[in-house]
Amino acid sequence: MQIKVVKNILDASRRIAAENRALFDQHGIYVINLMSSPGAGKTSLVENTIRTLQNDFGIGVIEGDIQDSYDAERIGRLGVPVVQINTGGACHLDGNMIRETFTNFDFAAIDLLIVENVGNLVCPAEFEIGENAKVMLLSTPEGADKPAKYPLMFAESKVLLINKIDLAPYVDFDLDKARRDALAINPDLEIFEISCKTGTGLEQWLEWLRQKIASVKKR
């Protein structure tokens, strides 16, 4: 007997993500899922974002790493609630892991939840966690060929932050190619050129984020 099915294999994990999202919506929390290679500057970006926005908004952070709690300690020093998830070898965060952190947060006091995914250019793109936006960080030393080589990451993201822009001249980063290829894959992608080191371009990113937080904010 033949049975026509046509169902997405990831529907079960997507259902959990949708439940997470409903909870975030109910509390007026904007959630970003921050993805990049290891070493692209995710934690520095999170630190910069917190320092500028923490007087205006309640911020919570979830740190995903295979092991260690170094990142959570960095973020904890800024005085915001942070939970470290150690995936113990898994290459990405999923909706279930995110859900398990909820008891650690007072959602009434949070407007922005930043989820720093495991450093990886492949798997995080394929899993939803209940985020409003996937934000992709590409640093110039990695090379401008990354959109062409890891297209799904760029296809799934709403924002591309090109970090370490101050290093671009020293590492022969072809900015035009990176932009062109990323937009070929995803014409709606918002692209900001930033440097967490010098502060270049961060204001445009933060303004984008402020508007998004305000659009869902509870009060």
Partner 1 sequence: MHELSLVHSLLELIDEQAAEHGFSRVNLVKLSCGRISGVEPQALKFAFSNTIPGTLCAGARLELDILPLKIHCFDCDREIYSNNADPTTCPDCGGSRVMVCSGFEELQLVELDVD
Q: Please report, as ranges, the residues that interact with partner 1 according to CB under 8 A.
A: 1-13, 90-92, 122-123, 125-126, 147-149, 151-152, 155, 177, 180-181, 184-185, 187
Q: Which of 96, 95, 97, 75 is nearest to 87 (CA)?
A: 97
- In whole angstroms, what is the distance from residue 113 CA to residue 31 CA? 5
In whole angstroms, the minimum distance from the beta carbon of 149 to partner 1 comes to 7
Q: Is the CB of 191 or the CB of 216 nearer to partner 1? A: 191
Judge whether 110 and 102 are in contact, CB under 8 Å: no
Q: Is the CB of 111 or the CB of 142 nearer to partner 1? A: 142
Q: Is the CB of 90 or the CB of 216 nearer to partner 1? A: 90
In whole angstroms, the minimum distance from the beta carbon of 181 to partner 1 comes to 4
Residue tagged 């409003």 (tokens)? 132
Q: Is the CB of 15 or the CB of 218 nearer to partner 1? A: 15
- Give, in order, the Cα–Cα distances in Å from 23 to each of 16, 102, 105, 107, 214: 11, 10, 13, 9, 17
Query: How is residue 32 written in tokens?
Result: 């970003």
In whole angstroms, the minimum distance from the beta carbon of 123 to partner 1 comes to 5
